[in-house]
Structure 1
């Protein structure tokens, strides 16, 4: 969680600097970011459906590989109490 908060803080600082300089941010609008999120989630739907068809366990995959792909490596630490910290 710390890397996400750090990233948000740095982003806010850069946004303030951009505002003080009177320039527009090159970041994509929120609608584009939602599209990217949809792409990440949709990409993970295929392996989940394959596991369902093969009657393999889905939840362990979602908690590890899928979460790590969508949320980054910090997601795996968040699901495993032994690795958090």
Structure 2
């Protein structure tokens, strides 16, 4: 839980920093969220395959 809270706080800080510096997000929100979803799925892919093989 602590890791999720830290991630949220850092994300909020970066969002505020982007706003203050008038910098656009490097990717549209939907594209960024899909990229993050892909990363999470990819991170779990190898362990899932290892479980299926056993």
Alpha-carbon distance between aligned partners in 2 of 1:35 and 1:15, rounded to the nearest angstrom: 17
Per-residue CA shift, 1:29-79, capped at 9, x if unaligned? 4334424524527834x717x72xx6x5xxxxxxxxxxxxxxxxxxxxxxx
Q: CA deviation at 1:8?
A: 1.0
Gapped runs of 5+ residues in structure 1? Answer: 57-85
**Cα 1:3/1:37, change in 2 over 3 Å:** same
Structure 2 runs not aligned, ≥5 long? none
Calculate the TM-score normalised by the size of structure 2. Answer: 0.53
In our comparison, the structure showing a higher alpha carbon Rg is 1
Map of 1:1-85 to 2, 5 A cutoff? 1-27=1-27, 29-38=29-38, 39-40=41-42, 43-44=45-46, 47=49, 51=52, 56=54
Any idea what SS the aligned residue of 1:22 has?
coil
Aligned residues: 51
Larger RCO (alpha carbons 8 Å, 6+ apart): 1
CA–CA distance in 2 between the matches of 1:36 and 1:9?
17
